[in-house]
Structures are given as structure tokens and as C-alpha cells.
Amino acid sequence: MTYLTRGRNGECVILKRGLWLFVLLVVGCADVIDAQEQKKIGILSGGFAESASASTAARQPRTNVPNLRQHLQELGWTERRNIRFEERYSKGQLRQLPEFARQLVNNKMDVIVAHAPAAVRAAKDATTSIPIVMAHGGDPVAQGFVASLARPGGNVTGVANLSAELSGKRLEFLKEVFPKLSRVAVLWNPDAPGPALGYRELEAAAKIINVPLESLQVRSPKEFETAFKTAKERASGLIVIQDVMTVSHIKDIVKLAADHRIPAIYTESEWAEAGGLMSYGPSFSDLERRAAVYVDKILKGAKPGDLPVEQPTKFDFVINLKTAKQIGVTIPPNVLARADRVIR
């Protein structure tokens, strides 16, 4: 028995039964081999998927997963060919992260990429054997994720954003713009692991430059309005310490700051792009690029405990002059000159 099929250039080719079955067998085996060779990368995030609608994405935390995919592709890893992703997003509900982490562990990921300290904690609690790469892990030593930056040990490594250590620098920027700064309100969530470190760093910096702080603890968006009324009454500046909950409500927070005419500085450029006055912090796109390098090394056989944790080397200072005009403040020329980007 013979079969008629098409060749590569569209020409007709006659295959006998045995050869036809051989071709089908080869193609089928190739698909199985490809599936077996695919490395499984788990994504664990307290934020939202990038595929969210435009209206939702405009006010929800970014995950930067598309950047991770792009950087991995540049390193030779292509989705559906030699890697595949399993993604878990808690959409701001941090209590769901431990269960999502267990799901990724049960599905036997080759590596888990954790976004933000809460996700790192959930992943670390779920496994001691699957490698975990911190895409931006706060201060991993202070939070107990690694033994040290130089020698992490265990199954966790990656990139520390050390955002808490930059809190003092943000306070300095506020002081430069407003030399008569009398008191700075600090909006932070005490239930999240990262902000507590950030607040302690701010307290230390505030003592050095002699600027008292007004702690505004918020555990839910329902407390924002009251917190801003307190800030308006008791402070002349504001610092927002970022976590999943506050990032989930960027638009709400920057609007409240503008409505109350409170000069504020935030953690990353996304806040200034959304209408915040100033932002200063690590470049998260750069952190994602470097996280991809860790994933690449681990998939090629490196042990996470042997890979030193990297610290940020690229920082973004962004000033939004539209917001400055809206709230009636003037940014000194020497501060403007130091900005990496000015939104006009």
C-alpha cells in the first residue's frame, strides 16, 4: 500500500506503508523528546499577570515576566522549545502565596523565580531542594533567605534590591528639595516583610539628618484616606514604603498625595510615571535581566548556594514636573540635574 504526501517544496511524494509509519514514529518521538527536554520554570508573584486588562494593569503591580522571557531567550532559552513556564499570581492576596508555592513544588519545577520578599518566603518555606531565584528579594540576609550575600548556601540566590537601605537616600532627596522640612510621614504596611526593614532604615537616617518621622501604618486600602489626613495635619513630606498592597493601589495613593498637596517620594519609577512627585530606587528591568542570568546558570547545572547574591548597580531617580506644578512646589535646578529622567 502507498500514500501520497507533500515534500518540503510542495512536490508530491509517494511513501510506502512501512516508510510512512516510520515517518510518523520519528515525528512523534521528536515531540516526546522535546517535551522531556523542556525545563520547567515556576513564577511566583504577589502581583498580577501582565495579561491583565489595560484598566487593571494601570493600577496593579508589574511582574516583569515578559522581560524575564525576553532575557532568557537572549540566553538561548525559548518557550515551548526548551523551557516552559508555570505562573502563579496572588493578585495582592499574600495569604495565597504558600499554597501557590506548594503547587509549583508538587509540579516539580526545575527552578522557581520569586518576585518580592513575600514570594521568596513562601517558596523557601515550601522547598529546600528546588532552586529559588529572587528577582528582587529585598534584604535577603536580614530576612533570613540566605546566610550571606557572598555565600548564600541552601537553595536560594538571585538579586537583592536592598530597597530598605535606600530609604535614607529618599529622605535626603526630600530634604534637598524642601530644606525647611519639619516632619516626614511614612506610609507603610507593617504586615508585609519588607516595609518593616525599610522603616527601621528610615528611623536611623532621620536621626542623622534630624528630621522626625510620623509613622502611618496601613493594612488595607480602607485606611489610606485617614492616613493622608494625618499626614496633611502633622507632616510636610511623605515617603511611601512599597509592598504588594501599596503597589496594587498606586493610582489611589498618588492621587491622595496630589489632592492633599503633600510632596512625596516613592520606591520605583512606576510611581512617578503614575503621577507621583519623585521616585528613587533600583532599576527593576535591570534586576530582571540579572535574574535571568541566574536561571540560565542553574538550568545549566550551577548550584544556587554557590552563586553569590548580587546587589543593585543601576538606580533610577525620576521627577514628575507635572505633579510639582499641580501641587505648587519648585524643584531646585541642582536636584533636577541629578535626575535620570524628568517627566514634563
Give the per-residue pLDDT at 99: 98
Lateral strand order in the sheet of 264-266: 213-217, 184-188, 237-240, 264-266, 278-282, 315-320, 341-343
Give the per-residue pLDDT at 50: 59
What integer is the mean pLDDT of 192-204?
Answer: 85
Percentage of the chain with pLDDT > 90?
A: 62
Give the per-residue pLDDT at 77: 96
Scan for cell 515578559, then name that residue: 66
Report the alpha-carbon distance of residue 195 to residue 240 in Å, rounded: 9
* Cα diameter, the chain: 93
Q: Are the CB atoms for 118 and 137 separated by under 8 Å?
A: no
Judged by DSSP in three states, 227 sits in helix
| pLDDT digits 0-9 by tens, 100-146 | 999 999 999 999 999 888 899 999 999 999 999 999 777 899 889 99
Comparing 4-8, 178-182, 241-245, which segment has the lowest mean pLDDT? 4-8
Mean pLDDT of the chain: 86
| pLDDT digits 0-9 by tens, 76-102 | 999 989 999 999 999 878 889 999 999
Scan for cell 535626575, then name that residue: 339
Judged by DSSP in three states, 79 sits in strand
What integer is the mean pLDDT of 150-156?
Answer: 96
Bridge partners, 113 (sequence order): 43, 133
- pLDDT classification of 162: cutoffs 50, 70, 90: confident
Scan for cell 540560565, then name that residue: 296
Q: Are the CB atoms for 41 and 109 separated by under 8 Å?
A: yes
pLDDT at 278 over 70: yes
Report the alpha-carbon distance of residue 322 to residue 327 in Å, rounded: 9
Report the alpha-carbon distance of residue 136 to residue 105 in Å, rounded: 20
CATH 3.40.50.2300 placement within the chain = 38-163+283-314, 164-282+316-343
Judged by DSSP in three states, 318 sits in strand
pLDDT at 8 over 70: no
Judged by DSSP in three states, 245 sits in helix
| pLDDT digits 0-9 by tens, 130-139 | 999 999 777 8
Higher pLDDT residue, 36 or 254?
Answer: 254
Cite the beta strand spans of 168-292 per DSSP E.
Answer: 184-188, 213-217, 237-240, 264-266, 278-282
Tell me the C-alpha to C-alpha distance, in Å, between residue 90 and each of 75, 118, 130, 217, 244. 29, 11, 21, 22, 10
Percentage of the chain with pLDDT > 70?
A: 84
Record the pTM.
Answer: 0.79
In Å, how far from its chain's centre is CA 37? Answer: 28
- pLDDT classification of 1: cutoffs 50, 70, 90: low
pLDDT at 187 over 90: yes
Higher pLDDT residue, 32 or 255?
Answer: 255
Report the alpha-carbon distance of residue 37 to residue 35 in Å, rounded: 6
Which CATH class for the 38-163+283-314 domain?
alpha beta
pLDDT at 158 over 70: yes
Report the alpha-carbon distance of residue 41 to residue 30 in Å, rounded: 22
- 164-282+316-343 to CATH, choices 3.40.50.300, 3.40.50.2300, 3.80.30.20, 3.40.920.10: 3.40.50.2300
Give the per-residue pLDDT at 67: 82
